[in-house]
Structure 1
Amino acid sequence: MGYPVILHLRGRRAVVIGGGQVAARKVYGLLEAEADVVVVAPEAVPDIEALAAKGEIVWRQKTFAEDDLAGAFLVIAATNDRNVNEAVAQAAGSGQLLNIVDDPKRCDFHVPAVVRRGPLTIAVSTGGASPTVARRIRSELEKQYGDEYGTYLQFLQKARDVILREVADDAARKRLFRALAADEFRQNGRWDEKFAHLLTKEKERNRERRDGNDEDFDVHC
C-alpha cells in the first residue's frame, strides 16, 4: 500500500529516459508540475522533438549513461528495453525518486491517472495493478468534475484569504467556509455577490454579539 503525496517539482530536475509515446506522456505531466525536464534518448517522437525545439525541455540525443542522472530529483525509465531500464535502476542514487514503467516492484513511486481542474488535482492509482482501470475511473471523474471547478476553486482561494484577513472569530470562519463549499453555493454562480452578502452578515453578527457583551459588562460593573 502506497502513501499518497503531491510532489512540488517546480525548478527540480526530472530525468526521463526514453523517447517514445509513454515517455512523452510522462514529460507532459512533469511540465504541468513545472519541473526542469531532461529527456535522454537517441531518438524521440515528434512531441518530444517539438518541446525540445521550443526550449521547454532539454533533449540529450544519446544512449543512457550513469552521469545523465546527475542532479536529478526524480527519474523515470520509460524505455521498452529491460537492459536500459535495469541500468537506470542501478545508476539511481538513494536520494533520487525512481519510477520504471511496467515494473512496479522496482519503483519508489507510481504515476497516477490525474484529473486537473485549476487548483483541483484528483489522482487515481491502482498501485500499478491496472493502469487501464485507473484511466477508466479518471474518465468518469472528468465528467463529474468539469472545467468550472477550476474557476470555482480559484474563487475559493481568494475568498479564503479575505476570510482569514477580515474575520477573527473561529466559529464565523467555519460557517463561511462551510457555506462557500456547499453545492448550492457553487451552483448559484453569483459567487462574489453571494460571498459579499455572507461576509457582511457575519460581520454584523459579530458586532451585535460584541455590543451585547459590552452592555452586560456595564450592568455588572
Structure 2
Amino acid sequence: MENLYPVFINLKYKKVCIIGGGRIAARKLEGLLQSEAVITIISPTLMESIFPYVNSGLVHWIQKSFELSDIEDAFYIISATNDPHVSSELRKGVSPSQLINFADDYSSSNVIVPSVVRRGRLAIAVTTSGASPSLSKKIKKDLEAIYSKDYEDYVEFLMEKRSYIQESVNDTDKRRKLLSLLVEDPIFRTEEREKRFQKIYKKINNNCE
C-alpha cells in the first residue's frame, strides 16, 4: 500500500454502506456524518451510541446479516466487522469501480481513511499506509497543537481576500505577491489582519514598494 495517491472525495449524496454495527462502525461513522453522504449500516445489531443518528434520520439501519446484494449500488463500502466470512464475501463480490475500506485488513482495501485534523476549511490528513495507526494518531495530536482553532477564522479570511484580490488586481505579479504575503506574515493570523491587509494592498497596488 506504499503507492497510495492522496485525495479528498466529495461524498455528498453518494451511497455509503457500513457493514457492522459495533465500535468500529461507530468510529468510522464519526468521520462520515458531515459529508452529506447517504449512509446505510447493515448489521443484525447496533451499538447504542449509533441509535441517535438512526432516529434522527442521518443514518439508515438495515437490521440483517450482510449479503452481497446490499452493496450493489454503493459508491463506498466500509467493512467494520471482524467476521471473516463477511470479509471474504466482500473481497470476492466488490466491483473494481467501488471504493472499499477493510478496517481489519489494509492490504485488501483500495481506500485508507487517514487521521484528519480539521480547522474549518483546513483539513490535514495523515497516514502511514497501514504501517502504524498509532504513529498517525500521534502526528495528528502534534498537528492539532500547531494548528489551533484560530486557523478556522484565518482560512476564511484567506478565502475572502483571495477572491477580492483576484477580482480587483489585474497585474499577475502584484496579485501573486499579495497572496504570498497573506500566508508569510504572522500578523494575518491575528485580529490586526484587516488593517494590515488594507495597508499592504494600497502599497503594492499603487507601486509604492
From 29, 47, 54, the counterpart of 1:52? 54
2:179 corresponds to which residue? 177
Matches within 5 A, 1:35-74: 35-74=37-76
In 2, Cα distance between equivalents of 1:183 and 1:196:
14
Q: CA deviation at 1:196?
A: 2.0
2:169 corresponds to which residue? 167
Deviations 1:104-161 (A, max 9, x none): 1100011111110111111110111111111111111111111111110011011100
Matches within 5 A, 1:25-104: 25-104=27-106
In 1, Cα distance between equivalents of 2:187 and 2:175:
16
Q: CA deviation at 1:22?
A: 1.2
In 2, Cα distance between equivalents of 1:35 and 1:198:
42
Structure number with the bigger relative contact order (C-alpha 8 A, sep ≥ 6) is: 2
1:134 corresponds to which residue? 136
Matches within 5 A, 1:15-26: 15-26=17-28
In 1, Cα distance between equivalents of 2:36 and 2:101:
18
Q: CA deviation at 1:183?
A: 4.5
Q: CA deviation at 1:191?
A: 1.9
**Is the alpha carbon distance of 1:186 and 1:21 closer, same or farther for their aligned partners in structure 2, counting shifts above 3 Å?**
farther
Checking the alignment, whether the CA contact within 8 Å between 1:163 and 1:173 is kept in structure 2 is: yes
Checking the alignment, whether the CA contact within 8 Å between 1:39 and 1:57 is kept in structure 2 is: yes
What is the root-mean-square deviation of aligned Cα atoms in Å? 1.6
In 2, Cα distance between equivalents of 1:187 and 1:153:
9
**Is the alpha carbon distance of 1:62 and 1:72 closer, same or farther for their aligned partners in structure 2, counting shifts above 3 Å?**
same
1:171 corresponds to which letter in structure 2?
A: D
Gaps of 5+ in 2: none
Gaps of 5+ in 1: 209-221
- Count of equivalent residues: 207
Q: State the TM-score, normalized to the length of structure 2.
A: 0.93
Q: Relative to total residues, which structure has the larger helix share, 1 or 2?
A: 1
1:197 and 2:199 correspond: yes
Checking the alignment, whether the CA contact within 8 Å between 1:78 and 1:85 is kept in structure 2 is: no
Q: CA deviation at 1:70?
A: 2.6
1:158 corresponds to which residue? 160
Checking the alignment, whether the CA contact within 8 Å between 1:17 and 1:23 is kept in structure 2 is: yes
From 4, 23, 27, the counterpart of 2:6? 4
Checking the alignment, whether the CA contact within 8 Å between 1:124 and 1:138 is kept in structure 2 is: yes
Q: CA deviation at 1:62?
A: 1.1
SS in 2 for 1:122: strand
Q: State the TM-score, normalized to the length of structure 1.
A: 0.88
1:120 corresponds to which residue? 122
In 2, Cα distance between equivalents of 1:88 and 1:28:
23
2:150 corresponds to which residue? 148
